[in-house]
Structure 1
């Protein structure tokens, strides 16, 4: 109860677009098949679904998922389904999550991020792909660990004062 409360400025729609595009470009990087590389699109999409559910919704999640499916040359719709379910879950709990501290938020969003990894995992197994190993699911845990850092970085532009003044407490 004693932690400081910040009055945030309205988010710039161009910053939302820039952050989602940057996350998409990070997912396009040739990391190889190394486990533990987070899905940056899922992380940033979850952040904006929690903080701005009216601006970033399930339609944007579906479109980003389709783009990821095309990039990965995977079954068309598996990431789209995962991101849409992630978006639905985030929008459902967004009011409660914002009242929690960042460490507690990490535990609340972890099942959503892990679920977003399980959906393509199960779809690939059902379509007859080879079992990728349980290490595939580590990515969701890595994303959950990165949640406080992503929250801090994506809220920086909103914490700026429009006219800084040394005598004003807010």
Structure 2
């Protein structure tokens, strides 16, 4: 199998795995700690392979996430489009940050995502979420190095097999 096809399979598998992890049921006590896996994967691909992900694909992934999770239609779509736009806009800087700074940048992106969620839910008349609502971005920041290194290692193995 050629390199481009293998990278495409890695891309599709990472998106599908992110959806599976997002849909994994957890006990109510630890549900606030679940990172936004789809966002982490979108951030990775927007930084490392911007030709694979764009605003249109981010929108489609968000709509798919809305349908799968039963959320307000368009909520995740708007969140992922905003996230992808910011990452693609600042990709040249984010790409060369050391892992610690990249993790902090991911925290800022996930906190921005939470603010967008608050705005959407405010416009729809939902009540303000509890304090646990702000914990998930911290766990997303902690998960970022593992997501990044896993996907980067898979891509490096594909590149080394071609050489």
TM-score by length of structure 2 reads 0.87
User: Residues 62-101 of structure 1: CA distance to partner in whole angstroms, max 9, x if unpaired?
Assistant: 1111112122322211110000000001101111111121
* 8 Å CA contact 1:110, 1:144 repeated in 2: yes
C-alpha deviation, 1:108, in angstroms: 1.8
Segments of 4+ in structure 1 off by > 6 A? none
C-alpha distance 15-163 of structure 1, shift in aligned 2 (>3 A)? closer
The secondary structure found in structure 1 opposite 2:92 is: helix
Pair 1:94-2:91 in alignment: yes
**Greater fraction helix:** 2
The secondary structure found in structure 1 opposite 2:110 is: helix
The secondary structure found in structure 2 opposite 1:12 is: helix
Equivalent pairs counted in the alignment come to: 156
The aligned counterpart of 1:79 is 76
Question: Unaligned stretches of 5+ in structure 2?
Answer: none
Q: Which of the two has higher C-alpha Rg?
A: 1
* RMSD, aligned CA: 1.9
Question: Unaligned stretches of 5+ in structure 1?
Answer: 1-8, 165-170
Pair 1:30-2:25 in alignment: yes
C-alpha deviation, 1:115, in angstroms: 1.3
Q: Distance in 1 between matches of 2:65 and 2:82?
A: 15
Q: Distance in 1 between matches of 2:94 and 2:41?
A: 15
